[in-house]
Amino acid sequence: MEETEFDDILDDWFIESLKTYKDLHVYQLEHPTQVIEWTSGKTVCVAGFTSSKNEILELRLPLKLFADENKGLCAERDFKVVHGGFTDAPVRCLRHIPGTRCVVTNDGLSSDLQVWDLGGDDSDVIRRTGSVDGSRGVSEGGSRIAARLSSQPQVLHGAESAGVRLTQLTSGQTVYTLETDSADPLSSLHFVSDAVFLAGCSNGKVYIADTRTSAAPQLSPPPPSSGESVLWWTDASAGPSCLDPSSCRIVRLSSCGQTVISDLRNPGGAVSRAQLDVQTRRCNADDVRVSWAPALDDCIAVSGFSGAVQIYSSSVWTTELQEAQPLFEHRGHAVSSQSDDGVPVFVTSHVWHPERPRTLLSAASDGSVHVWDWVDQSAAGC
Amino acid sequence: RSCILVSIGGKNIMLDCGMHMGYNDDRRFPDFSYITQNGRLTDFLDCVIISHFHLDHCGALPFMSEMVGYDGPIYMTHPTKAICPILLEDFRKITVDKKGETNFFTSQMIKDCMKKVVPLNLHQTVQVDDELEIKAYYAGHVLGAAMVHIKVGSESVVYTGDYNMTPDRHLGAAWIDKCRPDILISESTYATTIRDSKRCRERDFLKKVHESIERGGKVLIPVFALGRAQELCILLETFWERMNLKAPIYFSTGLTEKANHYYKLFITWTNQKIRKTFVQRNMFEFKHIKAFDRSYADNPGPMVVFATPGMLHAGQSLQIFKKWAGNEKNMVIMPGYCVQGTIGHKILNGQRKLEMEGRSTLDVKLQVEYMSFSAHADAKGIMQLIRMAEPRNMLLVHGEAVKMEFLKGKIEQEFSIDCYMPANGETVTVTTNPSVPVDISLNLLKREMALGGPLPDPKKPRTMHGTLIMKENSLKLVSSEQALKELGLNEHQLRFTCRVQLQDPHSDTDTLHRIYTHLKSVLKGYTIQHLPDGTVMVESIVIKVSSSTEDPNTKVLLLSWSYQKVNKEATSSKILQQGTDSSPNHYLRKCL
């Protein structure tokens, strides 16, 4: 066999992966997705974002991943398309409403939301069941969406801080509206408890509001040293693991890699900081994601700046701004992409598995979707 | 199990004749009563076509041909013909000898069945009879697998069997030309999956092997000579070289002989890489992989062994398994499906205690790993195939209708074709648009061409005037005159008439002359003649004048014209209308 064929089969990354990943699955969708959203412990939704016809797919993860004790006896490594539907517009944001078979999407062109029924066992077609009006006069980028954590099917949405509303899905009624002094474009919305939510703005501001009161929201100003053209993304650690909303933490990431962690008890201050190496050749605001690991302490995943997903352990960060090295880097998308036009592939989305500590899903601009369970090489940390 | 009956142009074809591997009773055979309640099938089937050697596609063939009864031709590719009997015999041995079943075919029946086989070459049209023709296309999937194009007259069907749209290390990808069949029949078992990459499957394989070797364990890989054995060997060899590993890798000689024999025989069925390799050297000549001797199984230390048969049901692989099963450091990797009744099947179902010959029990302590390397087309693959073949209708078999509505919608939307999903036992009727070829006489063709205008085009048909003559099996389009001549008939002409009354005190001749003069002045550009027989002709419209019998001042104008093309008639009426507009003879106008 020729030398090139050897390299063909076994490149460095492939060999390395034997030790660095417990599980690794690589898939190719027909069209790239910008959204990955859990609809159950074993299923996710993905959707296309071309300007014309797109598909929304609900995929069931490979059975082998969940087989645990009987893993060896399970040969099933494929995604199963359990439900699928069509939409005429791009899907830029997709949220599952917990406790229902309902998802809500936004096309990034207006602030209105589309409501879908994923379907049950009797049909594999995802159907549009309605819509939710957004506020008039929207900025670019469309609406962000968050779903209420409790059993009430309510959806929080908006494109700007002024005008974020909580809408009852069944009646379409607005239950709460956020009022802020300025209309700041949003980068994300998060519920930290059933009633308290965060509105993360692209300029670095974070509003903290309680839907039970009509009091003005708390404002956490943008971290210092952010310039005019710097964009910010936010995530909040929340959910059932966060019993006391005030002990929830917020991570803010800037387009130049500056990362600040604050505590809800002291939203203006910083618990720790770090400078991440994000290799910004280009930065598409739509693609950047920063997220807390739901089942690991102090771990953050960052993607969207390149063809890699980076995992950081913030437990070693201090209040001094210092360079941080990733605990792990998933370079699978960059390594296995076959981009003909020389445009480098970049990661469009990532999510953590809600329970399995080190399992993530990531998607890239070439249509690839990876499911990976990384090995923590360091003894300490996550 | 795959077994599809197609009726096309009066011909009946059976596509595949598989066994259902999940049943132990007669439910494992296809239900041939759909063809006839009793008696042999020969009179009801024009041919049987087998797509590849997997048992769920050919497992019931000897039962059908020898126990139910069929003496017509059975078509399959050369490799399938060579490999089928081996698998069928193995299968028979397991079912009858090991499980003691009775309603099953015998070795002799397999031989008799294979005598009815007519082998197919790729891309070669075979005339089954003077109306039915078939052609095989490369399907990938396994050695010898084919997709089949069936044509009767102008109607056609393509059956895919199992196929694969991505090439792998030893087989190419399926390919078909833009044959535009009326129906494309495809499996939908994997239609709703998105396949994990081959790289990840291989990674898993290497990881498992490496882990076992590292802890000093032995790895047994039972393989079928023509399955993935070659690929897995290449993979291990490369890995060993890269990682500088020292543990020995063996393959049993039976495996290499058989594999080399078949690959040599069917070299055109493998992909480019294998062909190149074969030309350079023997396919199983590796640096790190050596021929196995049964005594090696007792050697201490780690090792990897490839041995046949693939389901651990007999022979060398079973012997080695018995020796190694008791040690938890060891591992057995099953690279494919195992038939019920085999040890392979039992351990893949989690059985940890096995009953062996002589009532002894074997404790299964080694690690059992099931890996699937088989290549099937997924959702994306089906779309690619449809794009290649451009069928007019799509038929998906072996899926659950409720689980395939989305795919059906996707196909219908993207290709604007109908997609059917019949359940087992259901009949689907698809209406086709057969094209009827008709000859046209040269004269007629020349005449039509002389009329000018755009050339006829499949997308922009042109109407033309002619007569269709159907004589025996031929259809001919000729000019009306020629048709009349052939039929010995005289031509008749239709003339239409219309009477108009007008008040005019002049004589008949004078009135006629006045009409003539008037028309001549207003209808410039048209041929107007005053004929000696007392008529005026405007183009082909004849005008005659006579007096009413009751009142000599009432004149009756008789207009007559022959039936010609619609627009000519319209022109005629328009002409006259124009001509009479300015005259007080509004009756004339009304008539027209």
Radius of gyration of chain B (CA): 39
Are A157 and A164 a contacting pair, CB within 8 Å? yes
* Interface mutation target, options B195, B196, B287, chain A, most CBs of A under 10 Å: B196
Inter-chain residue contact A6 with B368, CB threshold 8 Å: no
Inter-chain residue contact B203 with A17, CB threshold 8 Å: yes
Q: Which residues of A touch B (CB under 8 A)?
A: 1, 5-6, 9-10, 14-15, 17-18, 24-30, 53, 55, 59, 62, 70, 72-86, 121-126, 336
A72 closest CB neighbour out of B235, B349, B367 = B367
List CB contacts (< 8 A) between B333 and chain A.
none
Residues 128-157 of chain B whose Cβ lies under 8 A from any Cβ of chain A: none
DSSP single-letter state for residue B227: T
Whether B123 contacts chain A with CB within 8 A: no
List CB contacts (< 8 A) between A62 and chain B.
196
pLDDT of residue B24: 75
Identified catalytic residue from B187, B202, B231, B369: B187
Mind spelling out the 3-state secondary structure of B110-176?
A: HHHHHHCEEEECECCCEECCCCEEEEEEECCCCCCCEEEEEEECCEEEEECCCCCCCCCCCCCCCCC
Distance between CA atoms of residues B436 and B446, nearest Å = 22
Inter-chain residue contact A18 with B203, CB threshold 8 Å: yes
For the CA atoms of A197, A199, A205, A208, the dihedral, rounded to the nearest 10 degrees, stands at -20
List CB contacts (< 8 A) between B373 and chain A.
none
String of b and e for A109-138 (b: at least 16 CB within 10 Å)? eebbbbbbbbbeeebbbbeeeeebebbeeb
Q: Contacts by B316-320 with C-beta closer than 8 Å and gap 24+?
A: B316/B252, B316/B254, B316/B292, B317/B220, B317/B222, B317/B223, B317/B252, B318/B343, B319/B294, B320/B220
| Secondary structure E strands in B230-382 | 249-251, 289-291, 303-307, 331-334, 353-355, 361-363, 367-370
Tokens 């990797």 correspond to B333
Question: Which contiguous run of DSSP H or E holds residue B232?
Answer: helix B229-243
Are A49 and A92 a contacting pair, CB within 8 Å? yes
Whether B194 contacts chain A with CB within 8 A: yes
The bridge status of strand A272-276 relative to strand A323-324 is parallel
Inter-chain residue contact B192 with A75, CB threshold 8 Å: no
Are A265 and A208 a contacting pair, CB within 8 Å? no
Are B418 and B430 a contacting pair, CB within 8 Å? yes
Q: Is the pLDDT of residue A380 over 50?
A: no
B368 closest CB neighbour out of A26, A30, A73 = A73
Inter-chain residue contact B273 with A5, CB threshold 8 Å: yes
pLDDT, one tens digit for every residue, chain B (592 residues): 889 999 998 999 999 999 887 777 788 889 898 888 888 999 999 999 999 999 989 999 999 999 999 999 999 999 999 989 988 988 888 788 766 777 889 999 999 999 999 999 999 999 999 999 999 999 988 889 999 999 998 899 999 999 999 877 677 889 999 999 999 999 888 888 999 988 899 999 999 999 999 999 999 999 887 667 877 888 898 899 989 999 999 988 776 677 677 777 777 777 665 666 555 555 567 889 888 998 999 999 999 999 988 888 888 899 999 999 999 999 999 988 888 788 999 999 999 999 888 788 999 999 999 998 877 888 889 999 999 999 999 999 887 777 889 999 999 999 999 999 988 888 888 888 777 888 998 888 888 888 877 777 777 777 888 889 888 878 899 888 888 888 888 888 788 888 888 787 878 888 888 888 888 887 777 788 888 888 888 877 888 888 878 887 788 888 888 765 444 445 555 555 554 444 444 444 444 4
Strand partners, A96: A103
* Interface mutation target, options A53, A55, A73, chain B, most CBs of B under 10 Å: A73
Inter-chain residue contact A26 with B197, CB threshold 8 Å: yes
pLDDT of residue B559: 84
Sorting pLDDT into bands at 50, 70 and 90, what band is A301? Answer: very high
Preceding amide of B309 cis, omega within 30: yes
Q: What is each CA distance from B112 to A118, B104, B106, B116, in whole angstroms?
A: 54, 15, 10, 7
Phi-psi category of residue B488: left, alpha or beta, with phi > 0 → left and psi -120 to 50 → alpha? left
Distance between CA atoms of residues A139 and A127, nearest Å = 28
- B285 counts as catalytic: no
Which of these ranges, A5-9, A204-208, B25-29, B290-294, has the smallest mean pLDDT?
A5-9
Whether B282 contacts chain A with CB within 8 A: no
Total number of residues shown for chain B: 592
Sorting pLDDT into bands at 50, 70 and 90, what band is A10? Answer: low
Inter-chain residue contact A79 with B206, CB threshold 8 Å: no
Residues 325-384 of chain B whose Cβ lies under 8 A from any Cβ of chain A: 348-350, 367-372, 378-380, 383
Instruction: Give the minimum alpha-carbon distance from A57 to chain B in angstroms, rounded to a whole number.
Output: 10
Inter-chain residue contact A25 with B196, CB threshold 8 Å: yes
Instruction: Give the minimum alpha-carbon distance from B368 to chain A in angstroms, rounded to a whole number.
Output: 6
Inter-chain residue contact A124 with B378, CB threshold 8 Å: no
Inter-chain residue contact B406 with A6, CB threshold 8 Å: no
Sorting pLDDT into bands at 50, 70 and 90, what band is A4? Answer: very low
A83 closest CB neighbour out of B369, B372, B406 = B406
Q: What is the DSSP string of B371-401?
A: --------HHHHHHHHHHH--SEEEEESS-G
For B117, the token pair is: 């086989």
The residue of chain A with its CA nearest to that of B349 is: A73
Measured in degrees and rounded to the nearest 5, phi and psi for residue A266 equal -140, 70
Measured in degrees and rounded to the nearest 5, phi and psi for residue B272 equal -50, -50
String of b and e for B573-584 (b: at least 16 CB within 10 Å)? eebbeebbeeee
Inter-chain residue contact A24 with B273, CB threshold 8 Å: no
Are B544 and B558 a contacting pair, CB within 8 Å? yes
Are A252 and A200 a contacting pair, CB within 8 Å? yes
List CB contacts (< 8 A) between A17 and chain B.
203
Are B324 and B297 a contacting pair, CB within 8 Å? yes
Model confidence pLDDT, tens digit, residues A55-81 = 999 999 998 888 877 788 888 899 999
For A254, the token pair is: 């800037």
A70 closest CB neighbour out of B234, B238, B350 = B350
Mind spelling out the 3-state secondary structure of chain A?
A: CCHHHHHHHCCHHHHHHHHHEEEEEEEECCCCEEEEEECCCCEEEEEECCCCCEEEEEEECCHHHHCHHHHHHCCCCCEEEEEEEEECCCCCEEEEECCCCEEEEECCCCCCEEEEECCCCCCCECEEEEEECCCCCCCCCCCEEEECCCCCCEEEEECECCCCEEEECCCCCEEEECCCCCCCEEEEEEECCCCEEEEEECCCCEEEEECCCCCCCEEECCCCCCCCCCCEEEEECCHHHCCCHHHCEEEEEECCCEEEEEECCECCCCCEEEEECCCCCCCCCCCCEEEECCCCCCEEEEECCCCCEEEEEHHHCECCCCEECCCEEECHHHHHCCCCCCCCCCEEEEEECCCCCCEEEEEECCCEEEEEEECCCCCCCC
Distance between CA atoms of residues B203 and B197, nearest Å = 10
Whether B407 contacts chain A with CB within 8 A: yes
Distance between CA atoms of residues A178 and A183, nearest Å = 11
Tokens 């995943």 correspond to A301
Distance between CA atoms of residues B522 and B526, nearest Å = 10
Residue A361: burial class (beta carbons within 10 Å; 0-12, 13-18, 19+): buried
For A341, the token pair is: 């036009």
Q: What is each CA distance from A86 to A51, A101, B414, B533, in whole angstroms?
A: 13, 17, 12, 77
Show the DSSP H helices in B293-334 as ranges: 315-324
Q: One-letter amino acid identity for B292? A: F
B200 closest CB neighbour out of A25, A125, A126 = A25
For A156, the token pair is: 């929080």
Instruction: Give the minimum alpha-carbon distance from A25 to chain B in angstroms, rounded to a whole number.
Output: 6
Q: Contacts by B560-567 with C-beta closer than 8 Å and gap 24+?
A: B560/B495, B560/B496, B560/B497, B560/B498, B561/B495, B561/B496, B562/B493, B562/B494, B562/B495, B562/B496, B563/B493, B563/B494, B563/B495, B563/B496, B564/B540, B565/B465
pLDDT of residue A135: 75
Model confidence pLDDT, tens digit, residues A238-286 = 645 455 656 688 999 998 889 999 988 887 888 899 999 876 656 677 8
Find all residues with CB under 8 Å of B251, minimum gap 6, and list them. Answer: B229, B233, B284, B289, B290, B291, B292, B305, B306, B307
For the CA atoms of A164, A166, A169, A174, the dihedral, rounded to the nearest 10 degrees, stands at -90
List CB contacts (< 8 A) between A1 and chain B.
234, 238, 277
Distance between CA atoms of residues B305 and B297, nearest Å = 9
The bridge status of strand A368-374 relative to strand B193-194 is unpaired
Residue A270: which of A278, A260, A285 has the closest Cα? A260
Distance between CA atoms of residues A197 and B438, nearest Å = 75
For the CA atoms of A8, A12, A13, A14, the dihedral, rounded to the nearest 10 degrees, stands at 60
B203 closest CB neighbour out of A14, A62, A124 = A14
Residue A61: which of A356, A304, A280 has the closest Cα? A356
List CB contacts (< 8 A) between A336 and chain B.
197, 199
The residue of chain A with its CA nearest to that of B351 is: A73
Sorting pLDDT into bands at 50, 70 and 90, what band is A182? Answer: confident
Question: Which contiguous run of DSSP H or E holds residue B418?
Answer: strand B418-420
pLDDT of residue B567: 45
pLDDT of residue A89: 93
- Can you tell me the ipTM of this complex? 0.89
Inter-chain residue contact A124 with B192, CB threshold 8 Å: yes
pLDDT of residue B199: 86
* Interface mutation target, options B165, B193, B369, chain A, most CBs of A under 10 Å: B193
The bridge status of strand B74-77 relative to strand B47-49 is parallel
The residue of chain A with its CA nearest to that of B280 is: A1
The bridge status of strand A328-330 relative to strand A323-324 is unpaired
Instruction: Give the minimum alpha-carbon distance from B203 to chain A in angstroms, rounded to a whole number.
Output: 7
